[in-house]
Amino acid sequence: MTELLKRTFAARKAEGTAAFVTFVTGGYPTKDATVDIMLAMEAGGTDVIELGMPFSDPIADGPAIQDSNTIALNNNVGYEDCLQYVRDARAKGLKAPVLLMGYYNPIIAYGEEKAVKDAHEAGANGFIMVDLPPEEAIKFREICAKEDISYVPLIAPSTSLARIKFLASIADTFIYVVSKMGTTGSSANVAINTSLPSIISRIREYTPVPLAVGFGVATRAQFETVSDAGADGVVVGSRLVSVIRDAGSNAPEAVRAYCAELTAQGQPRQVQAQRPASAVSPALPVPESNPLAGDSLKVTEPTVLPARFGAFGGQYVPEALVDCLVELEQAHKAALADPEFWKEFEGFYGYMNRPSKLYFAERLTEATGGARIWFKREDLNHTGSHKINNAIGQILLARRIGKKRIIAETGAGQHGVATATVCARFGMECVVYMGAEDVRRQALNVFRMRMLGATVVPVHSGSKTLKDAINDAMRDWVTNLSTTHYLVGSAIGPHPFPTIVRDFQRIIGREIKSQMAEIKGKLPDAVVACVGGGSNAIGTFYDFINEPGVRLVGVEAGGEGVDTKHHSATLSLGVPGVLHGVRTYLLQSASGQITETHSISAGLDYPGVGPEHAWLKDSGRAEYIVATDEEALRGFRMCTQLEGIIPALESSHAIWGTVQIAKTLPKDHDVVMCLSGRGDKDVEQISELLPGKWAEKLDWHIALANINTRISYFPTAIVFPNTAEDVQKYVKCGAANGVATVGRSGGHSYASYGVGGKDGALVIDLSRMKALSVDDSGSAKIQTGNRLGEIAEKLWDNGQRALPHGVCPYVGSGGHTAFGGFGPFSRVAGLLHDHVTSAEIVLANGTLTTASATQNQDLFWALRGAGASYGIVTEWTFSTLPAPPTVISYRVDYNTVVLTVQQAKELLKSWQKIALSAPDSLSVICSIGRALPIGGPDLYLDFRGTYYGTKAEFDLLSANWSSIYSPGNFTHKVNNWYDGLVALSGPLSTSEPEASINFFAKSIFTKSAVTTSQWDRLFDFIGKEGFDVDVDWFIEFDRYGGGVSKQAPDFTSFAHRDAVISFQFFAGITPDPFPADGVPFLNKLAAVVDPKPKAAYANYVDPTLTPAQWKSQYFGRHYPRLVSIKRAVDPKNVFRFPQSIGLSL
């Protein structure tokens, strides 16, 4: 079988031309198309065919071949099918040699000897294994030689001379030469590597074996360039895959025509350019059929550090990566032996917050009733997890080898944040790859990375999780080796990465050992850690491996249960295989394809594990148990409620496992658990997961929580629709049963109206409905599950669009829009609901309808000002605005000044003058309140806002404020729109209300400036009673007018377009119960400003108002019309709460 390959290359050489080698993925584009495509290749002039064996994770391939692998696997094509394609093609007359090309793991799964034997019997001529290292290649070559099957090695531009010599020695027919660094791919517009002639000459110094050159060939001109560079064969793969994709059912003919074009079929083949005579004779002869005897040939460059842990580890990587790994390994070995390196590393302990604390979990221990439980508090490290240990170490290594660009993969986002942090600290470029699913569930960490200056690349292939992020990171690395260091985050990947990560993480176990000795005078009886890739676990275990009295326990992610397919229990249920450059335990199919995994925690959602863990399992030194999603959530809840520590979901698995182990041990034993990360990143995900089955299973009904814990109600049910059709079903159910039905968009109602405002309501929680799209005209369709911060972030990402909404990022868009929607930009652009062009709404009879200026006009008017009373709006359509190019955020605070009541009054009077004369482009917010701690005699005061214009305009405007801000601290910053919002509100991706507190709030609008007598009454009252009440209180003043008042009074049902100043009065306390005098105090505080207010803001809802008061103050003269519309669309008053529009005046 090897002889046919030799004859093929020899025949082309005799003609003075290069052999044409083509590639097709088996089973692509359909399961039945491959044989006809192979025959078409030969008909078009192909000399040698490479038949791709589909693999789930083809890290060396570019997008075209990646996609073809995915499609083939979806067609259920595996290695046996590829062998059948060869048999069928031979039966139909195929004469060209066929090479089976792909990745090693499916061959391991099939059985190497059987794979080669069956390939020979099917009529294949050889193998090209993309990720087979030389150590394994010797064994595999021997198996091939026994069956007269060729093994074709690969050589890259980066391959060292010593390795070239070795690889040439095992080539029996030809060598595949990779023309460029990077993944497979071609373009007619990209030139062939100009260094190709020298690459070929360098190889020819060691062997006369034919050289076939691939990567980057798309056109006849490129074919000739490669041939003239001295190649004996030219390989075309990615372009052919694209030709097949574009041709559809006509693929065979399109392939034949393309091959004929490249080979100039029907024309005399172009004779290759005359090659210069070789300066030396080949160092090695052309191998005979079986030149290898046992282990007579050895790799000439052994690793300088142990590359394996028993049977696991190694370097199963594309040839292009090998020399870079050698360089990294040598740098790490030198660093290990260099005291100055460790001195520099330890110099960052203050930055990292090391040593981390060893904390006795007293209440958890008490609740468990067994051994003492200790937490190694890696969650308190800088960036919130153990990941900073490795990030600092590797960034120092990267500096040693001169790499300026850093890439990383991340699952939960903790490693991405740590990498972005150290890159910011050392001034390096940072690119983080993250599965698109993980980007969704870890939005806060994505924001952190971007805030730190990193580029976050969502990966949409495969399961869109950690595995796929690693794939794309490795593709980036192989393309940019000369400038880039891959800062691997876990103890995975090819040697030396598992060793490097372990060496920087072992600080965890080393500190545990010394801290336990200091505190208890002994070693722990067990150490426990969660295991995904296994970095925190190997860091915890390593210093105890040679301490047989210490149990090492890893806790894997059991997902929905190990009796299902939805888990990440790699060590418990996996089998040995090769993935991401390393031999370890994997979750894979019988055919060697990597299976999709599941875990509630993104950081454990990985189908492999570090090779040292695989060795610890097989050797019996460590034990590995499983915690399911439910058990992890129980661990999360125990830690949160017993210790007041919110752990990462990854760590929560270890908490559950720790409790189970501690229960079985005596009370005088000690179990130390690595609390690897903090859980703030997971709070949003848990808030979305708990409603429904988890709330019931765990009896943990956080869904009932509202921002105001002073007022609690218990609904009949809380439902979480995913679609408008779901909302229709729930509304019909509520109406049929006579239950008061309310929508909840954000849970931010000051009076808990989001849960009904009284017991027994049906709450339709829209938090899962978060779709948002923007068309070319700037029209945005926004589902009402989006909170304001999410809207701002998504609009910015969709063409830098904007809307004039409020600045609290966690406020729901449903209520905010329905009752007005005022924010800093409103003085320029009006209220948020002024920009609504239509609304999709479910009415009381369950119908889904649209309200707009041309459809259901009365309802459209009512929805913009009193919308919650008429139905459940599932989607608003807004006419968005281009974001202002320049936004200047300013603040004047008096925190360093002790203000008397009189001083505060004079300052507020002065600021009112500025606010009243301010242009519409300036927003003005003033806050005054009681300085903390409660009991003090002082006031705090600040003024803040935003200017939408140029810095020069702002400087001119603010120059007139000098006499006012001189006692305080005046700061301002020029931002873009997005950063200006962040400056006012903090991270926009925040999706939950700030910590729930006990409070009471109310509002009034004034239709004119506050008079001197009103100021006097207000501050007299503050002086007399403002410091005696046991609550934290404040008043916030917002300047209205501008764009709000430019609309006609009846434009929407918002009744207060003539408002000049909005007062919000707020009194709160946490965590103590709300004092009895808190509500009366705040009501009196408001009354001294206006004893008989005529207007208030329905979004600052005040449950103490009488029906007559709230009807008048919220809706004014519009109330009768609103009642009329209510009677028409909701005659049975299905949508009701204490201050909803009713059926009577």
DSSP characters over 496-543: THHHHHHHHHTHHHHHHHHHHHHHHSS--SEEEEE-SS-HHHHHHHGG
567: nearest Cα among 625, 610, 651: 625
- Alpha helix positions (H), 523-610: 535-541, 570-573
Which pLDDT tens digit goes with each residue over 727-768?
999 999 999 999 999 999 987 889 989 888 999 999 999 988
What the block records as the tokens of 209 is 């074996």
The residue behind tokens 């905010």 is: 816
* 154-155 vs 175-178, strand pairing mode: parallel
CA separation, residue 206 to residues 3, 9, 658, 750 (Å): 22, 18, 58, 80
What pLDDT score does 931 carry? 66
CA separation, residue 670 to residues 543, 627, 647, 875 (Å): 17, 21, 20, 55
Which pLDDT tens digit goes with each residue over 612-651?
999 999 999 999 999 999 999 999 999 999 999 999 999 9
Which pLDDT tens digit goes with each residue over 523-572?
999 999 999 999 999 999 999 999 999 999 999 999 999 999 999 999 99
Tell me how crowded residue 10 is: count the other CB atoms within 10 A of its CB.
13
What is the rounded distance in angstroms from the CA atom of residue 941 to the CA atom of residue 894? Answer: 6
What pLDDT score does 277 carry? 37
Q: Is the pLDDT of residue 285 over 50?
A: no
Return mean pLDDT, the chain: 90
What pLDDT score does 292 carry? 33
What pLDDT score does 791 carry? 94
pLDDT band of residue 703 (cuts 50, 70, 90) is low
Q: φ and ψ at 398, to 5 degrees?
A: -60, -40
Over residues 473-490, the mean pLDDT reads 90
What is the rounded distance in angstroms from the CA atom of residue 855 to the CA atom of residue 869? Answer: 19
Does residue 142 have an active-site annotation?
no
What is the rounded distance in angstroms from the CA atom of residue 237 to the CA atom of residue 30? Answer: 17
In this structure, what is the dihedral angle of CA atoms 459, 463, 467, 468, given to the nearest 10 degrees? -30
- Alpha helix positions (H), 781-883: 788-797, 813-818, 826-829, 857-866
Which pLDDT tens digit goes with each residue over 841-851?
999 999 999 99
Q: Is the pLDDT of residue 782 over 80?
A: yes
What is the rounded distance in angstroms from the CA atom of residue 805 to the CA atom of residue 876? Answer: 14
* 779-783 vs 772-774, strand pairing mode: antiparallel
Q: How many Å is the Cα radius of gyration of the chain?
A: 35
Amino acid code (one letter) for 274 = Q
What pLDDT score does 1083 carry? 96
What pLDDT score does 901 carry? 87
Q: Is the pLDDT of residue 302 over 80?
A: no
| Higher-confidence position of 757 and 1073 | 757
What pLDDT score does 297 carry? 44
Give the three-state DSSP class for 781.
Answer: strand
Task: Determine contact, residues 602/465, Cβ cutoff 8 Å.
Answer: yes
Task: Determine contact, residues 868/1137, Cβ cutoff 8 Å.
Answer: yes
pLDDT band of residue 305 (cuts 50, 70, 90) is confident
What is the rounded distance in angstroms from the CA atom of residue 859 to the CA atom of residue 876? Answer: 14
2-263 is a CATH 3.20.20.70 domain? yes
Which pLDDT tens digit goes with each residue over 416-438?
999 999 999 999 999 999 998 88
- The total number of residues shown for the chain amounts to 1145
- Alpha helix positions (H), 800-856: 813-818, 826-829
Give the percent of the chain with pLDDT over 70.
Answer: 92
Tell me how crowded residue 344 is: count the other CB atoms within 10 A of its CB.
14
Over residues 846-865, the mean pLDDT reads 98
Classify burial at 881, counting beta carbons within 10 Å of its beta carbon; exposed 0-12, middle 13-18, buried 19 or more: middle
Would you give the DSSP letter of residue 642?
Answer: I
What the block records as the tokens of 413 is 């986002």
Q: Is the pLDDT of residue 687 over 80?
A: no
**Domain boundaries defined on the chain:** 2-263, 349-680, 887-1106
- Give the distance from CA 22 to its chain's centroid: 38
Q: φ and ψ at 723, to 5 degrees?
A: -140, 165
CA separation, residue 49 to residues 35, 117, 151, 776, 1008 (Å): 11, 19, 15, 46, 85
| Higher-confidence position of 283 and 517 | 517
- Alpha helix positions (H), 369-441: 387-400, 414-426, 436-441
Residues 6+ apart with CB under 8 A from 274: none
Over residues 399-406, the mean pLDDT reads 94
What pLDDT score does 279 carry? 34
Of residues 50, 67, 670, 682, which has the active-site annotation?
A: 50
DSSP characters over 983-1011: HHHS-TT--S-SS-BEEEEEEEEESSPPP
* 925-930 vs 1032-1039, strand pairing mode: antiparallel
Chosen CATH of 349-680 out of 3.40.50.960, 3.40.50.150, 3.30.750.24, 3.40.50.1100 = 3.40.50.1100
349-680 and 887-1106 agree in CATH topology: no
pLDDT-wise least confident of 97-101, 929-933, 1081-1085 = 929-933
Which pLDDT tens digit goes with each residue over 203-258?
999 999 999 999 878 899 999 999 999 999 999 998 999 999 999 889 999 999 99
What is the rounded distance in angstroms from the CA atom of residue 982 to the CA atom of residue 899? Answer: 29
Over residues 812-837, the mean pLDDT reads 96
Which pLDDT tens digit goes with each residue over 946-985?
999 999 999 999 988 876 766 668 889 999 999 888 888 7
* 1061-1069 vs 1032-1039, strand pairing mode: antiparallel
What is the rounded distance in angstroms from the CA atom of residue 709 to the CA atom of residue 987? Answer: 24
Give the percent of the chain with pLDDT over 90.
Answer: 72
| Higher-confidence position of 249 and 346 | 346
Find the angle CA(859)-CA(860)-CA(864) to the nearest 5 degrees: 110
What is the rounded distance in angstroms from the CA atom of residue 771 to the CA atom of residue 877? Answer: 12
The architecture CATH gives domain 887-1106: 3-Layer(aba) Sandwich (3.40)
Task: Convert 656-674 to b/e letters by CB count within 10 Å (16 or more is b).
Answer: bbbbbbbeebeeebbbbbb
What pLDDT score does 995 carry? 47
Does residue 288 have an active-site annotation?
no
Would you give the DSSP letter of residue 647?
Answer: B
Q: Is the pLDDT of residue 933 over 70?
A: no
| Higher-confidence position of 810 and 852 | 852
Over residues 1084-1091, the mean pLDDT reads 95
pLDDT band of residue 189 (cuts 50, 70, 90) is low
Over residues 1010-1017, the mean pLDDT reads 94
What pLDDT score does 323 carry? 84
Task: Determine contact, residues 380/357, Cβ cutoff 8 Å.
Answer: yes
What pLDDT score does 412 carry? 79
What pLDDT score does 467 carry? 85
What pLDDT score does 1071 carry? 63
What pLDDT score does 893 carry? 83
pLDDT band of residue 190 (cuts 50, 70, 90) is low
pLDDT band of residue 272 (cuts 50, 70, 90) is low
What pLDDT score does 291 carry? 34
Over residues 81-97, the mean pLDDT reads 98
Edge-to-edge strand ranges of the sheet holding 772-774: 772-774, 779-783, 872-879, 836-842, 848-852
Of residues 42, 47, 57, 61, which has the active-site annotation?
A: 61
What is the rounded distance in angstroms from the CA atom of residue 155 to the CA atom of residue 149? Answer: 20
What is the rounded distance in angstroms from the CA atom of residue 937 to the CA atom of residue 278? Answer: 93
Task: Determine contact, residues 814/859, Cβ cutoff 8 Å.
Answer: no
